[in-house]
Amino acid sequence: MSQVVSIAPTSIKLDVDTKTRLQRLATSRQRSTHWLMQEAIRQYLEREEQLAQFRDEMQTAWDDYQDTGLHVTGKEVFAWMETWFTDSEAQPPKCHH
> Over the stretch 7-37, which tens digit does the pLDDT of each residue have?
899 999 999 999 999 999 999 999 999 999 9
CA dist., res. 52 & res. 84, Å (int)? 28
Contact 70, 95 (CB under 8 A): yes
Reported as a single tens digit per residue, the pLDDT across 74-91 is 999 999 999 999 999 999
Q: pTM for this one?
A: 0.71
Q: Please choose, from the candidates 45, 26, 43, 44, the residue with its C-alpha nearest in 3D space to the C-alpha of residue 35.
A: 26
The SS3 assignment for 64 reads: helix
- Separation of alpha carbons 19 and 48, rounded Å: 24
